[in-house]
Chain A
Amino acid sequence: MKPGTMGFVPRARTAMEAVDLGLGLLQAHWRPVAGVWGLQVLFLLGLFLPFLFRTPLWCLLGYWWLKPWLDRGVLFVLSRAVFGQSASVWDFLREWRAVHRRGLAAGLLWRRLSPLRSYVLPIFQLEGLHGAGYRQRARVLTRQSAGAGFLLTCSGWLFTLMTLVGFLALLQGMMPPGSRVELWSGFDTMTLGFQWFLTAVGILALTLTEPLFVAGGFGLYLNRRTHLEGWDLELAFRRLAARLSLVVLLLLGARSLGAQEPPPAPDGEPVVQAEGAPPTPKHPAEGPLRPQEEAHQRAQRILKEDPAFRHTEEIRVLSYEPTGREPHWLRSFLDFFFAKKEPAKPSGSRNLDFLKGLWDLIALVGKVMLVGGLLAFVLWLIYRFRHRLGLPVAREPDWEAPAAVAGLDIRPESLPPDVPAAARHLFVRGEPRAALALLYRAALAELVHRKGMEIPASATEGDCLRAAGDHLDPGPAAIFKTLTLTWQRLAYKDDLPTREAFEGLCEAWPAAFGGRS
């Protein structure tokens, strides 16, 4: 064992974290733990074998009682793991005597029910203390994390219980639905078969959860010593001292050194502990079942298995006791408002009915408010977020025909009654630009107001042309296209149309955009 290497990081932890440290050690070293543990469990089961068939539940009890003996194997492996070593089954067998020599009897007898069992286990197994020394040491060590140690012990029970219930439920779940075997009802009858079954499951559950308990307690122990004694510091200091001088300084008290070496060196200290075979049950349960019991069980079995007795169904209904009369909240409501002109009921129960009606009324108002409020809230939300929700939102402002498109006034009232004539007139007067503009905007006005074409103010000539394609027949559309192109040349290039071209447009205009001419 090199003093410098540690299998875990010693830090001052909280108690619960220390438990997790123990579990972490267990996770990392689960293989050797499983090896040693398995060996012990097999040994124990072999020991129980003669009794297993007759009195299984006693075996389960015995197994449970002997757990402190089993724990020692786990603690042995974990104590090696603390120094980064992996203990094998052979190591365990070699150290067999050392592992079991200290405090086994006490652990199995008067310390068996200690609520801090796994927390104090290292004190006598690893430190080898007993008697007054043990008590003092245990008092010091458990002064702070005793609460956590107790919780850990309870967790051990709960985990075992959880595993047990889990297994039972799993098996129950795997029964085919039609088989009608109710595992849980086995607790009532406790046949031998069920006892075997229960023992097997119980031993399995104990076997699976006990190492957790030991590891958690060991974690608490390690952490407490780190807190109390500064293990980590001692190691660092030793490294420093070793670096400083070649002289090995072993000036520490034997105790703290001894505490470092799990398991304790097998020196000749003549501590005799009761060891050997765990106590075997002295009184195996009385022989086979007694006749009365047998008869009882047969009856049970018949009741259970014969379909004639077995038609039971579990029906779960949410039932409410019928009120008998209709509550007539409506009538009470009317009564309430119209000063009970017509007593609806015989007067004897009227008073009560009225109260009942009032109560119904309150409930109704509450309900209406609840539902109404919910509804209003939802509506408000929809309204509030209508934009984000991508709902069709009314255009803001509602679309109305723009007064001007591309800078041209297209309101109908701004147009002369006879557009082509007015345009010709302007053209002759030497205002071809105005003339063409008139033709174009009149055509647009026509499209907007007669054909219902929607053009926003940001539409360019090209947009209008595309939109017009959907609203005009091919003939007029072609004319509108020519008109647009001519207008664009004029507007953006100052390119005057020829007279013929203009005339052509004027002539085609009434037919295409007809309405007013």
Chain B
Amino acid sequence: MRQQLFEQQHRQAWEDLQGWLEERPTLNPEDVPPAYRQLCHHLAVARERHYSPALVERLQQLALRLHQRIYGERGEGLLGALRFLWQDLPRQVRGEWRLVAVSGLLFFGTWIGAFLLVRADPNLVHLMLSPEEAARYVQMYDPKTPVAGAMGATRDVMMFGWYILNNVGIDFQIFASGLLAGIGPLFFLPFNGLHGGAVMAHLTNQGLTATFYGFISGHSSFELIGGVLSGAGGLRMGLSLMHPGRRSRVAALREGARKGARLLFGAVVLTFVAACFEGFWSGNALVPWKAKVAVGLAFWTLLALWLLLAGRRGR
């Protein structure tokens, strides 16, 4: 068949498809897949018959755009995200409990270790904190220093923004650095753990329990578990790189990154919630600190229950 005839016969079909792509539909949606298959056929024919390069290229590009459109990933939307949080994430955390446990141990283990050490010997704090830092923390939680919440709502919003920028960014960095053979989390988690534990013990030694525990208890569960999860996500990625199993390293890595990113997503949500509490609740001076601690403990319990139990029932 001559090219001209070929073009004449099928031009309408191509233009219809083009129109569908450009949102001026002359085609019913159910007619698109057959028309697309037809187009693929035309493309193959045009290549086989060596029609002019411009025609082949035109068909090729049309097919490519349709391919992208037709095989586009359908998002699960809001519902998917919620189901993920409620079912899939706790399931995955339980499924990857070894990694989560390692990550948690690196973080909380060093935290508790540093806390106990500094409690036992207050001077040890200088191993982990410089004197200025230590003094700054003491000053920050001095009951005489006004805490954030007492400074009005605008400050709350500012702190909220800062917490999101800083804390979620840290989560992202812990995760991404997991690609370096998992070294990132292996470094960041104990580092943050030691630091946190030392600060906590130091402030306890200084007798600042009310302000300090009052401030951190509300959001601590979300933030710390978020850190542990992003660490686990990073470890997952690093582990896939080091031990690809029976897959190629790249394929294993791809899979590992997908799984890790899911943990990270959970971590980000948790950290976001933490920032909300940290900005708007933790610094609130109107609530007595014991109530805050009680609320904080309740959140710890709820989160633990969520991770342990949610999504256990099958579909």
Contact = CB atoms under 8 A, between A and B. Distances in A.
| A contacting B, Cβ–Cβ less than 8 Å | yes
A344 interface: no
A315 B132 contact: yes
A388 interface: yes
B4 interface: no
Interface string A303-321: 0000000000101011010
A194 interface: no
Contacts of B86: 389-391
A364 B276 CA distance: 15
A459 B136 CA distance: 69
Interface of A: 313, 315, 317-318, 320, 322-323, 326-327, 329, 359-360, 363-364, 366-367, 371, 374, 381, 385, 388-391
A390 B132 contact: no
Interface in B274-298: 276, 280
A141 to B, nearest CB: 23
- How many of chain B's residues touch chain A, expressed as a range? 20 to 34
Chain A's interface: helix, strand, loop or mixed, by majority? loop
A318 B93 CA distance: 34
Interface in B61-79: 78-79
Nearest to A330: B286
B280 A367 contact: yes
Given A315-B136, A371-B280, A389-B82, A360 B152 contact: yes
Nearest to A390: B313
Chain B's interface: helix, strand, loop or mixed, by majority? helix
B162 interface: yes
B223 interface: no
Given A315-B133, A389-B87, 18 more contacts: A313-B132, A315-B136, A322-B146, A323-B146, A323-B151, A326-B146, A329-B152, A363-B152, A363-B153, A363-B154, A364-B152, A364-B153, A381-B82, A388-B82, A388-B83, A389-B83, A390-B86, A390-B310
Given A329-B152, A363-B154, A367-B156, A385 B311 contact: no
A231 to B, nearest CB: 14
Nearest to A365: B153
Nearest to B311: A390
Nearest to B154: A363
Interface string B117-133: 00000000000001011
A327 B148 CA distance: 12
Contacts of B153: 329, 360, 363-364, 366-367
B305 interface: no
Contacts of A381: 78, 82
Interface in B162-186: 162
A374 B87 CA distance: 21
A393 to B, nearest CB: 12
B308 interface: no
Nearest to A366: B153
Nearest to A315: B132
3 residue pairs, one from A and one from B, having the closest CB atoms: A363-B153, A364-B153, A367-B153
B79 A385 contact: yes
A360 B156 CA distance: 11
B136 A317 contact: yes
